[in-house]
Structure 1
């Protein structure tokens, strides 16, 4: 990370004034002492707390696993049980009073409002469960051929995790209005804490870059999964670290630069997952696999909506969702090609990347 030019000039000028009575060599030594803050390789700082974000991620994971318990064709799912996890009805899931539902974006102007979809998927999952006729390829599907576990998990990855980070905690509105002077024990300044909460929703271990055995959740996990073809994992993780250092240094120009990297690369992460699952769909020969990969591709396409600074236009997202239809039977090979071409054009992906995701 580099100190912004204006801040660096001010520091150097002040140093020159303060050392004007010293020799030239001493002045040069003083200037050389103005070093760039050291950037750690792990997300480890003195005062950090994103436990609420981690708890919500664990709740989402618990909800997904509960719905997947219906994959046996015997277990009967309960809408009340699903809702209890989603809303943290008990108030103490994973030792937290936080919940997923209240942090899920509810925007009825979107092409697909995931918040409104969640209850319907709870109902359809419950209705389809406990019946072997609704199991295909070892997975539970509702009457329309949607896989509720995927629609809920990926839908909330966008409407909750992605949205809260890039369209809330990392925005100028949130960060610029936050105090960056008063340190609260265990949390840092308000601005540092907001940044940490944004990081928490990414789901990465503190030693994400180097520890291949670490537990990573959702977006961080998917970034690693696609890294052999298109790697944004390091860009996002390192930018979160560098931005946190910049906040501590009160270098807001650098903070914003790193924030912009996070938002841009995370949006690309969403797009490459749409392409990945469409590539799988294009080669699937079993109906269960086709419905599974179609469900994932569609739900990741919904995620594209939840970045307030997105590169892709809302009309293009709408077109993509329309092309993917309401069931796998609505999608032709031409539709798959058109969606991939649109994402390739928008994000500048190479043919090699698109073909190998």
Structure 2
């Protein structure tokens, strides 16, 4: 039995789908790939997520908004508090131009071109964050009390937009939390909850729409193979491109020809593992193929999708865990050059710890709160969050003491998910 601390119930999902998946002609079928349907997943197969009813514009917009808010918070001097809150709350969103930092030549130019009526704030969990009451008074609106993702995001958007801040005085990088916390909820939390319901056999109606929504939250393009190249280093993307004009029409459809953040992480972590002497888990192909096969089974009237759902869910959860390890590894690399009590930023430095990496490790650890298997006990997750800390431990710990805590967190995750030691080091 899976444990999901934030349930995406059918009653909550269907109204959102009815309103949020109204597209403007950009998310219909297309010839973005061929499924030879021989089931062998060999190189001559290009599996594709192509069905007439496949609509996940809202989920694509949520991916874009998470990225957009991260970029804008990192450039707070150019983005007021009201601009940031309008994005978060969906105010005047349909006519808002998409971020210029997107790769390729997107077909869509505004959020309304992707999906109409998206309200990001309504999708974010209001469940109290584990150990959120331990955050310092500089880092939370509810000092000493429970705080949820919505409250924390609003506080950080205000800090960035109103005060032109890039970090709190405790070393929390606001842009990292603006993006990475949204990757936890709604993206991972909502997508994992849908797949968990499928795995448990709890979905009996609107199955295609809900499966499509999970696919959209994960952020894969409709055809994966043209994007992959694990031989060229640890990034795993062919020519480093997250955007590809697969159908050759001269532009990139953001709903079908773009690798969004979670899918990109799945590819990158798979590529890193393939370069070691250890096992080569392929989180990206495992998840994508399971999602394609499950969608095909829905189209063919199959009732039991539990295996496909669980396969995709397991791969996604492992990517979350690997991301925590990845950014812990980055912090440990910084700590190798530090000695004595840890020091905060001086000049343009991000401190002995590496504040960007700290923020990403913390936010991704919180992501597991919204879905994790029974193998990761609540106490284990609490310990991981405690080991990472409430903020970068400047003036509180030596480099060796903090490195020991971080190793403890890595050990918990590696043991829980049975990760190979060579892969753990490469991540």
Smaller-chain TM-score range? 0.7 to 0.9
Matches of residues 231-310 of structure 1 in structure 2 within 5 Å? 231-253=282-304, 255-284=305-334, 285=337, 287-288=350-351, 290-307=354-371, 309=373
2:213 equivalent in structure 1: 197
Report how far residue 176 of structure 1 moved.
4.3
In 2, the alpha carbon distance for the partners of 1:109 and 1:233 equals 28
Cα distance in 2, alignment partners of residues 206 and 310 from structure 1: 31
The 1:47/1:281 distance shift into structure 2, 3 A limit, reads: same
Give the structure 1 partner of residue 423 of structure 2.
353
Q: Which residue of 1 aligns with 2:164?
A: 129
User: Paired residue for 2:128?
Assistant: 108
The equivalent residue for 2:117 is: 97
Q: Is the 8 A contact 1:167 1:308 kept in 2?
A: no
Once the two structures are TM-superposed, the CA of residue 64 in structure 1 deviates from its matched residue by 1.3
**CA RMSD of superposed structures (Å):** 2.4
Q: Secondary structure at the match of 1:247?
A: helix
How far does the alpha carbon of each residue in 1:208-233 deviate from its partner, in whole angstroms, 9 at most, with x for none? Answer: 23223332111011111212223311
Partner of 2:174: 148
Measured after TM superposition, the shift of residue 106 of structure 1 is: 1.2
| Structure with the bigger percentage of helix | 1
User: SS at the partner of 2:368?
Assistant: helix
Residues 172 and 54 of structure 1: is their aligned pair in 2 closer, same or farther, counting only changes over 3 Å?
same
Is the Cα contact below 8 Å between 1:170 and 1:194 reproduced in 2? no
Does residue 62 of structure 2 align to residue 56 of structure 1? yes
For residue 343 of structure 1, the aligned residue among 413, 416, 419 is 413
Structure 1 residue 152: Cα displacement: 1.6
Q: Which residue of 2 aligns with 1:19?
A: none
Q: Distance in 2 between matches of 1:352 and 1:164?
A: 32
The structure whose Rg is larger is: 1
Residue pair 2:327, 2:357 contacting (<8 A) in 1 also: yes
SS of the counterpart of 1:305? coil
Number of aligned positions between the proteins: 298
Q: Which residue of 1 aligns with 2:269?
A: 226
Give the secondary-structure state (helix, strand or coil) at the position aligned to 1:228: helix
**Aligned pair in 2 of structure 1 residues 354, 193: CA closer, same or farther (>3 Å)?**
same
Give the TM-score of the pair, scaled to structure 2. 0.65
Q: Which runs of 5+ in 2 are unaligned?
A: 1-35, 40-45, 97-110, 133-147, 228-237, 244-257, 274-281, 338-348
Structure 2 distance, partners of 1:51, 1:174, is 26
Q: 1:91 to 1:81 in 2, by over 3 A?
A: closer
1:311 partnered with 2:311: no
The 8 Å contact of residues 169 and 197 in structure 1, kept in 2 or not, is answered as no
Report the CA distance between 1:173 and its aligned residue.
9.4
Are 2:49 and 1:43 aligned? yes
The gaps in structure 1 that reach 5 residues or longer are 1-35, 131-139, 180-189
Write out per-residue CA displacement over residues 127-170 of structure 1, whole angstroms, 9 at most, x where no aligned residue: 5526xxxxxxxxx3221101111112111101100111111365
CA contact (8 A) 1:175 1:194 kept: no
Tell me: CA distance 1:128–1:277, structure 2 relative to 1, closer, same or farther (3 Å): farther
Report the Cα distance in structure 2 between the residues aligned to 1:333 and 1:127, rounded to whole angstroms.
35
* C-alpha contact (below 8 Å) 2:199/2:307 kept by paired residues: no
